[in-house]
Amino acid sequence: MLEVTDLQAAYGRITALRGVSLTVAQGEIVTVIGANGAGKSTLLRSICGMMRPAAGSIRLDDQSVGGLASSDMIRRGVVMVPEGRHVFADMTVAENLDLGAYYRRDRAGVRADTERVLTLFPILRERFRSAAGRMSGGQQQMLAIARALMSHPRLLLLDEPSLGLAPVIVAQLGRIISDLNRDGTTILLVEQNARMALRLAHRAYVLATGLVARSGTGQALLDDPSVHETYLGGAIA
Amino acid sequence: MRTLGVLLAILLIAVPPFMAEYHVYLLSLTLLWGIFALSMGLVLGFIGEINFGQAAFVAIAAYASSLLRLKLGFSFWSAAPVALALVVGLAALVGLITLRLRGPFFALVTLGFGEIVRLIITNWQDLTNGPLGLRPIAPPESLFGLRFDSKLGFYYLVFATLCVSLAALARLIRARTGRMMIAVREDEVLAGFVGIPVLRHKVIGLCFSALVAGLGGLLIGPFLTLLAPGQFDLFASVDMVVMVVVGGVGTLAGPLIGAVFLVFMPEALSFARELRPVMMGGLLIIVTIFLPGGVIGLLRHGLTRLSSAGRGRLAVLR
């Protein structure tokens, strides 16, 4: 479905990606783990059209999509949930969800998707008419994901969804990600919470200083001693 | 709020025939500035930028329509769409170039744009008659039996233009495009992630703003019977900014309230013209520090406090 080849990206003079290649097949959960500054967010931003890659190719269903704007990518079914529970704080939950589906013209489909995300995140139904900024961090993260789902994506890019959330909420989030995937959404997940991410993922990549350091199935990386030491804290017990 | 608006509109229609000519003139001037302030309000409140070149949009519409009438024999009504199309086209061009810029750069570039337009008007003497200005500019020809050659008739034309602009902008804000624009203003980066074409919505906003400014510009020539480049200097744009800020940013009624405060009151009291820029600056500082919501914010705050106080009392009674 998604094929990234030798992708390079930079912020001015600072190179963030130095030639990253990865693939995501239809129906998979693929995770990318790595330390701060390894280039994980840059990778997602380049894929969803928020950042123009300096070199390399991004192909979606065998079509080149590198350098397209985010408004084009969302129409092709690729959407990103940015890091840090970004919501339109002064707008209501309903308005936030509405914006997620802004480009769609199929009203019936939008209504069905609204119902779907409200069932998935019951808390959003309770807070439907209240300002998004007044909700807790976990609720805002749910809203950010729900808003992305309103575009009915085929490929969902999640950037550190568990960051700063309580363990109970993180577990809930993990279940929701699996559920979404079971319903047919392909997911590319970037995480610092490597343990959760690797358990969820079919396959995983380890990114270090802008390069893919290691890749394999989630379980294989969980069992890999070096990964364990660097990203999971301490040796395998 | 709505009933208040309707009541005010009825007053603005019914009372002027009984007013002295000077006061009708003053009211027209206020409403005309209300139109300009409204156009600036869209830029400030819904794109989240300051346009120091707004007066240039007014000037271009004013000069284009007046020149078409004086030199090519157009009527006011046939010149209007041409002049408006010109202004909107230029706004799109300026927007596509400048709205990519972040932070203070948009304001700076529009400052330059405004000055360039003013200098062209001043120096292209063959066409514009330079600093001496164009005159006399006749009132609009009568249309559907309505006459605009009296102060009162012209007043109603200004009033109608304001109403049309207000209705159009109210509609725009409630429409899909308007909601996108608000999303872009709230959080430009997030709007990008949501897939909203950020630049496009800013440019659309600027075009609408220029359209309203242009509508006002069509009227200013016939209203003053002359056009001169000095009317469209930087201070004209700054005045619009002050009106919006004083009235309340991000609302449609705010700019109109600001126009009343800054045009009607000083004229009615008619003191110290030379001190006007200083007073404007002072007012801007005071409002920004002490009243960030403007007059509208103050009213809203007062209403909520009143109503919550009232509710409290009821609760006690129960």
Query: What is the reported pLDDT for B260?
Result: 82
The DSSP bridge pattern shows strands A29-33 and A203-208 to be: parallel
Whether B229 and B67 have beta carbons less than 8 Å apart is answered as no
Query: What is the reported pLDDT for B88?
Result: 95
Q: Does domain B8-289 have CATH number 3.30.70?
A: no
Whether A33 and A188 have beta carbons less than 8 Å apart is answered as no
CA distance A99 to chain B (A): 7
For residues A227 and A233, give the distance between their C-alpha atoms in angstroms, rounded to a whole number. 9
Q: Which two tokens stand for residue B227?
A: 């056009």
Query: What is the reported pLDDT for B77?
Result: 87
Strand partners, B160: none
Chain A environment of B189 (Cβ under 8 Å)? 82, 86
Complex ipTM > 0.90? no
For residues A158 and A145, give the distance between their C-alpha atoms in angstroms, rounded to a whole number. 8
Q: Which of B181, B250, B225 is nearest to B38 (CA)?
A: B250
Q: Which of A218, A186, A192 is nearest to A205 (CA)?
A: A218
Whether B65 and B220 have beta carbons less than 8 Å apart is answered as no
Element (H, E) at B29: helix B21-42
Q: Which residue of chain B comes nearest to A47, CA vs CA? A: B193
Strand partners, A5: A57
User: Residue B39 pLDDT more than 70?
Assistant: yes
Do the chains contact at A102 and B189, CB–CB below 8 Å?
no
User: Residue B269 pLDDT more than 70?
Assistant: no
Do the chains contact at B197 and A88, CB–CB below 8 Å?
no
Report the share of chain B in percent with pLDDT over 90.
17
Do the chains contact at B194 and A90, CB–CB below 8 Å?
no
Provide the CATH topology of domain A1-77+153-237: Rossmann fold (3.40.50)
pLDDT tens-digit series, residues B93-112: 988 988 887 778 888 888 88
Q: Kindly list the residues of chain A whose beta carbon comes within 8 Å of any beta carbon in chain B.
A: 48, 50, 69-71, 73-75, 79-82, 86-91, 95, 98-100, 102-103, 147, 151
Domain residue ranges of chain B, discontinuous segments joined by +: 8-289
Query: What is the reported pLDDT for B226?
Result: 84
For residues A101 and A88, give the distance between their C-alpha atoms in angstroms, rounded to a whole number. 14
CA distance A116 to chain B (A): 19
Q: Per-residue pLDDT averaged across B73-78, rounded?
A: 84
DSSP B47: I
Judge residue A36's burial from the number of C-beta atoms within 10 Å of its C-beta, 0-12 exposed, 13-18 middle, 19 or more buried: exposed
Per-residue confidence of chain A (237 residues) as pLDDT tens digits? 999 999 999 888 888 888 899 999 999 999 998 888 888 899 999 999 999 999 899 999 989 998 899 999 999 999 999 988 789 988 899 999 999 998 888 889 899 999 999 998 999 999 999 999 999 888 999 999 999 999 999 999 999 998 888 888 888 899 999 999 998 999 999 988 888 888 889 999 998 888 888 888 888 888 887 777 777 765 554
Q: Which two tokens stand for residue B149?
A: 């050659």
Q: Specify the domain boundaries for CATH 3.40.50.300 within chain A.
A: 1-77+153-237
Do the chains contact at B179 and A95, CB–CB below 8 Å?
yes
Q: Which of B241, B197, B198, B287 is nearest to B107 (CA)?
A: B241
Do the chains contact at A88 and B183, CB–CB below 8 Å?
yes
